[in-house]
Structure 1
Amino acid sequence: MDKSQLLDQIKDAMRAKDKNRLSILRQVNQAMKQIEVDERRDVTEADLTAAVKKLQKVTKEEEEAIERAGAAGHEERLAMLREQGEVLKGLLPAQLEGDELRARIDAIIAGEGLSTKRDMGKVMGALTRETQGNFDKPAAAAYAGSKLS
């Protein structure tokens, strides 16, 4: 997703009068504007992904804090946070999973000549760089661990 697509989604949320979605999208847009002003450069897709992941982390932390404190009387806020999480998840690029993930791991192992369990960090690091962290991490670790002796 790029900035123009984000602005289109903001317009769509305004038309649909979806206040919660609009609020989230505006937060992401504000983060993009902050990068443009502070760093005096155009935002990239990586910047957008990083901003969404940061908001996703904050939302999840707040949701967990409310649940730990006792959700009594906070059901409405919890529902809103869960909806925010879903909106943010929809803004992220699709996660690499299944056969495609296994093929990418096999290519990394073969390409770099990795063979031992000590090379697990190299495999995961290379996979993170290639996909910018958009992959199923537990599944990747399990599969890479089974391929390395």
Structure 2
Amino acid sequence: MSLKHQITEDMKAAMRAKESDRLSTIRMLLAAMKQKEVDERVELDDVAVVGIVDKLIKQRKDSFSQFSQAGRTDLADKEAAEIRVLEAYLPQRLSAQEIAAEVASIVAETGAAGPGDMGKVMAVAKTRLAGKAEMGQVSAAIKQALSNQ
């Protein structure tokens, strides 16, 4: 079953169970997916759906930190609940050690020799690690690997 189909089925289940918070989050995700399909005139595959989920989680984390700093725990709790719902659609994330190992192999493959080659390594890493790791962690691992050379 494709991830897109799974999300649709989860929306139906949330409707039946009358889980309004979960339902609104899934509907927001489906709306973002539909918007991307309409804008780019493409049918989304699982990789593209994971990219959208990643983007939405990043937005929710930013909002969560803003609301927490402002003392709005009610809104921060809502954002945290949305993050939990969205994270269910992500594949298993790589550990820091696994990310470092992947980055090391990418650096070796590309022949990167220093911080100036960050863009070249990051381009390969984005395609290979999309959905498997948070790109902020990947970027930090690349900087670490390239500064050690």
Which TM-score bucket, shorter chain as reference?
Answer: 0.7 to 0.9
Deviates more, 1:131-140 or 1:6-15: 131-140
Percent of residue pairs identical: 34
Which structure 1 residue ranges, 5 or more long, are not aligned? none
Taking structure 2 as the reference length, the TM-score comes to 0.75
Q: Distance in 2 between matches of 1:104 and 1:123?
A: 11
| 1:112 counterpart letter in structure 2 | T
Q: What is residue 113 of structure 2 aligned with on the other side?
A: 115
**Aligned equivalent of 1:103, options 79, 101, 114:** 101
1:98 Cα deviation from its structure 2 partner: 4.1
Taking structure 1 as the reference length, the TM-score comes to 0.75
1:29 Cα deviation from its structure 2 partner: 1.0
CA contact (8 A) 1:120 1:144 kept: no
Given the superposition, is the C-alpha separation of residues 122 and 97 from structure 1 closer, same or farther in structure 2, using an over 3 Å criterion? Answer: farther
Give the alignment of 1:17-96 within 5 angstroms. 17-71=18-72, 75-96=73-94
Structure 1 runs, 4 residues or longer, greater than 6 Å off: none
> Is 1:15–2:13 an aligned residue pair?
no
1:8 Cα deviation from its structure 2 partner: 1.9
Structure of larger gyration radius: 1
CA contact (8 A) 2:107 2:121 kept: yes
1:3 Cα deviation from its structure 2 partner: 1.1
1:42 Cα deviation from its structure 2 partner: 1.4
Q: What is residue 124 of structure 2 aligned with on the other side?
A: 126
Q: Distance in 1 between matches of 2:45 and 2:33?
A: 9
CA displacement 1:9-48 (0-9 Å, x = unmatched): 2123233332211111111111222233344331222332
Q: Distance in 2 between matches of 1:34 and 1:46?
A: 16
Given the superposition, is the C-alpha separation of residues 110 and 51 from structure 1 closer, same or farther in structure 2, using an over 3 Å criterion? Answer: closer
1:143 Cα deviation from its structure 2 partner: 5.0
Taking only aligned residues, the RMSD between alpha carbons, in angstroms, comes to 2.7
Q: Distance in 2 between matches of 1:21 and 1:124?
A: 34
Q: Distance in 2 between matches of 1:112 and 1:142?
A: 15
Q: Distance in 2 between matches of 1:51 and 1:126?
A: 19
SS at match of 1:91: coil
